[in-house]
Structure 1
Amino acid sequence: MKHLILTCCLGLAASSFAAETISKRASEIDPRAKEHPEIDFVFTDKKGKPQDMQNASVDVNVKPQGKLVIWLMGHNAGLFERLNSYGLHAIQVHYANKWFGIIPAARRDDGKTLGDIRLEASIGEDRSDLVSIPQPDGMMERSFQFVKWLSKEHPAGKWEQFISEDGKGLRWDKVIVSGASHGATTSARFAKHQKVDRVVCLCGPRDNYESWQALPSATPGNRVFGFSHVLDGGWTGDHYCRSWEMMGLNQFGPIVNVDMVAPPFENTRRLITDADVKGDAGRAHGSVTPGGSAVKDKDGKLIHEAVWKYLYTHPVDQTGSPTPADPDCVKDQRK
């Protein structure tokens, strides 16, 4: 296993554990993987640095939940440490997602284009005339190939439990799809198409002119969780409240400020924070994800540890009371 990159993650202050981070380039796992320079989706940058590195981790010393988190953003070691401490397996995949900048302005806001491209990038099937993302470069197949590779190269992790009985794909009923911002929105769009165990949207979803949020959903609404900061532009612009209500999340509890309500946060699916970010909307956007923008208490500890654990582990059958739609949340943003 000399071709693996194995590093020992640092233990969190809240709990002491060690987990391996396993890294491997997507282009080395699957020879069918291709570059798409037309959307700046390449295997190496101009300096020759690999851009298609994928990461996985699991703490084999923690009782497993038998669930796999697929993270649709750049690798976040702090988040993965926490996921592993909950007994979750986690992978971050490199898939064709750098398409946003190529969309003509007239198409970007037509109410359909973004959702179509997000779905094509997720499933690797033709859904948009603006991109051509084949199956090996979509999130579903990249995830499957990575897990299949992990099952052989990292047997201690028992990754094979996430492969379907016919060996042709993943056990999506064991998968939690999650991301922040762009990744959160794609996670939610994908879950409309494919039933998954859970969706966790950090600072998302957005796509404020799109209608896909109201489509019939393969993944029931009680399995979708969102967390955002009130100073985030996605909140002040009503993007989050709009998406949450169109997806029916108000049927599972009110919007709850996690800084004022203790866990389990009224069993809701819509969580917000107004923690002090010095009035910085940019920091607010990233503050709901473990990392440098996250808010700390006077002792230097991140204040939202209980929130992250809730988002990824709260029983989906425990829900809050239905709440009426908010008349002040602007649904039609074309007016």
Structure 2
Amino acid sequence: MTTIAFIGLGTMGSPMAVNLARAGYTVRGYNRTPGKATPLLEAGGAASSTVKEAVEPADVIITMLPDSPQVEQVACASDGILANARHGALWIDMSTIAPQAAGKLAEAAAEHGLRALDAPVAGGEVGAIEGILSIMVGGEAADFEEARPVFQALGRTVVHCGTHGIGQTVKAANQLIVAVNIQACAEAVVFLEKSGVDLEAALDVLNGGLAGSTVLTRKRNNFLQRDYTPSFAMALHHKDMAIATRAAREVGAVIPLGAAAAQLIASAVSRGDASLDHSAMLRTVELLSGHPRP
């Protein structure tokens, strides 16, 4: 597997494609918005003007797109993946979409002679840049083993979780945990500040104990500086929480904290914070506490 078509060169996709090129793969990138391929070109990859051009010579096709409609469009259009990929090629969808949608796309791929894996990632932009993503994979075990070298160029934790759609189920659980964790951190920040505590010192000691987390480590400066430059936009987490709450309802799992976090994120999006980093959940807590900031 030496030639990879990488569809979606956004915040996450661009550094992932770069890491694959640096690992020695021949990477042909495509993005719907022009001008996104520069980092890949600088890393030795190539840019394609259409999905068809990217996927025709590819052994592996990777999609990294915002949601199910975009993945379905790229897959099912006349110039898309299913109609133009080589028979037997491996399609790895690393987007975050609904588990049910992932299963249907895998069935459609099989009908066109393609093998499919759903392989959403966790770790954010930093994880994508540093090649330390967590990758949760659904699909056939043999296809996973074949793709393992590709995954290892992108992530540190790579796990085959089960059949088609299960990777997306695990990602939904990840997003639920992250949302609740950010909300708890945001509440602690406002509680500490309104109590007159030195916030920087408090976050340091909290992160050294059982309250510590990757979320607190990664978002510490966001909280301290109120810097909401997006590494993962609130709008995307809003989408992911809709996936999580719907999937939980379908299997009869009760997620009261997750549902509350989903509503708070929805409130932030409705209020105009969609393009901010998801650490901007802090703004909602400040507003509710009578402590709003610009």
TM-score with structure 2 length normalisation?
0.30
- Give the number of the structure whose residues are more often helix, by fraction: 2
TM-score with structure 1 length normalisation?
0.27
